[in-house]
Amino acid sequence: MEPNKDWSDIMCEICLKGFLDKDEFELHIRKHTEKKPYKCKHCSKCFAQAGTLSVHIRSHIGERPYQCSECSKSYPRECDLTIHMRSHTGERPYECSLCSKTFPQKSNLERHIRTHSSERPFKCSECTKSFQQKSYLTEHMRTHTDDRTFLCSQCGKFFKHNYELEKHIRTHTGERPFKCTHCPKAYAQSKHLTVHIRTHSKETEEPYKCPHCSKLFTFPESLRAHIRMHTDDLPFKCSDCSRSFLHKSKLNAHIRIHTGDRPHKCPHCSKSFQQNSHLQGHIRTHTGELPFKCSFCSKSFRYKNKSYTKHILTHTSDDKMHTDERPYKCSDCSMSFLRKSKLVAHIRTHLGDRPYQCSQCSKSFKQKYHLQRHSRTHTGELPFKCSYCSKSFKHKNKSYTKHILTHTNNDLCVIPEPYEFLPFKDEPEPL
């Protein structure tokens, strides 16, 4: 299209971007005016441009025409494939001018730059809250709208995204569309196939090596996360307080403490939760499901917590607990641990880190379950109920045990677990 001579010097007064063509300018201005004339026939979403609507429709019909030549992943947009290819090449072309960090996407850089300032450009239209990132606003808006548009016809569950529905449907059909070209194995998710394919190639099975401890990793992002344990780098910073995190998922969960968002709603009752794992645990109190099965006997457990771990250890010899089978080693001293959660807690003794802060007072704690115990001094919660009488206790400690023994003549008795789901457990869960 030839540039319109009369519009050759046109400039957007809002963002100062220049245009040679009138049509391009009119498309651009819709971003500022929120005029979105193109509506999706599958859901209620509207778009400023017809091309953006066409790409969105692919999320409903499952079309992903742009396939990676290095792995089995495919994408609905060419730009998504271009960004994905950087995970293979290691290219990070966007550099922060303030701290020299580099990023594979421009949006990552723009989001990072806001951590150097107090800018919170994404404002909620329903309340007074504002956010540094658009994704935080989108997640927050669901607390106002409960927007779940994708319905499973088999069980009636709703999902926010089509790809979540597609994955869920495979649990009903047993479909495993991602097939290995080297053997008969097939998988329900592409990421599981990607991991499996590496087992056919010795050279690429675990190609990423830690320079500090020589540990090997399948993916570069796994190596980067591991290296942060050596360097104390916590790149994901909360813009509302001083907390920083090793993983983005932990930051996202933490942010809900500030926003008050509880997006995970129980389909059986009115309770809602900040994290999906808490919801899944709660749902088991309705269904009676005991998904964590002991591989040595017929016992099953509702949660993969300390009770489950303790039971598994009853099947192993005491010698095994004192052998070298402790894969999680501290890089600052000679100690090693059976579980990753124990190593993470131990590392805080070197750092002096007390990341779990009480919202009611100024106290902070090294471990989450210490904060949970402390919080009961503010709330007055007595979660540990005696199954023989009406008494309840704040902690599952010696006083609780002693009281239970008053109801029995035996010196030894089985201490019952709390009969209802508690969002805060007295024991820390392994990571």
Check residue 240 and give its pLDDT.
76
Q: How many CB atoms lie within 10 A of CB 239?
A: 17
N-term to C-term CA, the chain: 57
Q: pLDDT band for position 408 (50/70/90)?
A: low
Contact (Cβ atoms closer than 8 angstroms) between residue 194 and residue 71: yes
CA distances from 100 to 223, 225, 243, 291 (A): 20, 19, 22, 46
The Cα 262–Cα 172 span in angstroms is 28
The answer to whether residue 429 is domain-embedded is: no
Check residue 147 and give its pLDDT.
55
The Cα 310–Cα 307 span in angstroms is 5
pLDDT (tens digit per residue) in 313-358: 777 544 444 444 677 778 777 788 877 777 877 877 777 777 778 8
Task: Give the structural domain span for 160.
Answer: 150-204
Of residues 414 and 128, the one with the higher pLDDT is 128
The answer to whether residue 164 is domain-embedded is: yes
Q: Tally the domains of the chain.
A: 1
For the cut 50, the answer to whether the pLDDT of residue 109 exceeds it is: yes
Start-end of H helices in 266-397: 276-287, 306-313, 318-321, 340-351, 368-379
Which amino acid does the sequence have at 288? Answer: G
Q: Which residues contact 43 (CB under 8 A, 6 or more apart)?
A: 60, 149
Share of the chain above pLDDT 90, in %: 0
Hey, which of 25-34, 79-88, 125-134, 200-209 has the most confident mean pLDDT?
79-88
The answer to whether residue 79 is domain-embedded is: no
The answer to whether residue 170 is domain-embedded is: yes
Long-range contacts (CB closer than 8 Å, 24 or more residues apart) made by 134-143: 136/255, 136/259, 139/252, 139/261, 139/263, 140/259, 140/261, 142/261, 142/263, 143/260, 143/261, 143/262, 143/263
Q: pLDDT band for position 9 (50/70/90)?
A: low
The Cα 171–Cα 188 span in angstroms is 9
Q: How many CB atoms lie within 10 A of CB 397?
A: 12
For the cut 80, the answer to whether the pLDDT of residue 290 exceeds it is: yes
CATH for 167: 3.30.160.60
Check residue 149 and give its pLDDT.
63
Of 67-76, 123-132, 413-422, minimum mean pLDDT range = 413-422
Q: Kindly state the greatest CA–CA separation across the chain.
A: 98
The answer to whether residue 215 is domain-embedded is: no
Kindly report the CA angle at 248 between 247 and 249, in degrees rounded to 5? 90
